[in-house]
Amino acid sequence: MTQTTTKILYSFEEYLTYDDGTDNRYELIDGKLELMNPPTFRHLLVAKFIEQNFDEQIKHLNLPWMCFREAGIRTGWRKSRLSDVYVVTAEQVMEFLDESAVCQSPPLLVVEVVSPESVKRDYRYKRSEYAALEIPEYWIVDPIESKVTVLLLEEGLYEETVFTASQKIVFPTFTQLNLTVEQVLAAGNIQQK
């Protein structure tokens, strides 16, 4: 009789090289692997729209920054989250260029797109972990509630501003970006031709 043992706790370093032979994606939460459900197409379309707008701004303003979608962020000793979109300096990437795409220092900006199974994770857990990591700006794009929440770090806590409908979103990191909540959320729709 063969007994299979499964590892219960993983170090951050073990997480970076973990491969179970599948295409499954995991977050590392207190040393445990947490399987992430594949995102919805709406979720992917909204994240792609945001990434494209950030890339345009970075190029237009000639900033030494990079934007990534579905990459990781180390949020603690045995913690790593998968974000929907984030912006980092090129210097942050150069140090880990040939390693797993997990940012090990705070990104400049993180965006999470809410899905039905991620509400608590995006609004509660990631919010507290990102604040503890001192990520200066965190957006929660919520197609379910039709709103965008922009959180700015002030004295260790996030101060939030909620935008809805046709309101122009105020973007502290990208001041020249001109988008409304409706435009961001409409990216999750497919127009029939």
Determine the Cα–Cα distance for residues 150 and 164; give it in Å rounded to an integer: 11
Share of the chain above pLDDT 70, in %: 95
- Mean predicted confidence (pLDDT) in 47-63: 97
Q: What is the pLDDT of residue 2?
A: 34
Q: 115-141: per-residue pLDDT in tens? A: 999 999 999 999 999 999 999 999 999
Band of the pLDDT at 191, cuts 50, 70, 90? confident
Q: What is the DSSP string of 15-36?
A: HHH---SS--EEEEETTEEEEE
- Mean predicted confidence (pLDDT) in 5-24: 86
pTM: 0.92
For residues 101 and 5, the model is more confident at 101
Q: What is the pLDDT of residue 28?
A: 96
The chain-wide mean pLDDT, for the chain, equals: 93
Scan for tokens 């994770």, then name that residue: 121
Q: Does domain 39-186 have CATH number 3.30.300.30?
A: no
Tell me the β-bridge partners of 139: 111, 150
Band of the pLDDT at 96, cuts 50, 70, 90? confident
> CA 155 → CA 134, 162, 193, distances in Å?
9, 20, 49
Determine the Cα–Cα distance for residues 75 and 60; give it in Å rounded to an integer: 30
- For 167-185, letters b (16+ CB in 10 Å) and e give eebebebbeebebbbeebb
Half-sphere exposure of 117 (CA within 13 A, CB side): 8
- Mean predicted confidence (pLDDT) in 155-171: 96
The CA-based angle 53-55-60, given to 5 degrees, is: 95
Q: What is the pLDDT of residue 95?
A: 84
The full set of domain ranges for the chain reads 39-186
Band of the pLDDT at 1, cuts 50, 70, 90? very low
Q: What is the pLDDT of residue 193?
A: 62
Instruction: Check residue 177 and report its DSSP letter.
Output: -
Band of the pLDDT at 4, cuts 50, 70, 90? very low
Phi and psi (nearest 5°) for 119?
-55, -55
Share of the chain above pLDDT 90, in %: 87
Of the candidates 42, 10, 41, 40, the one whose C-alpha atom is nearest the C-alpha of residue 26 is 10
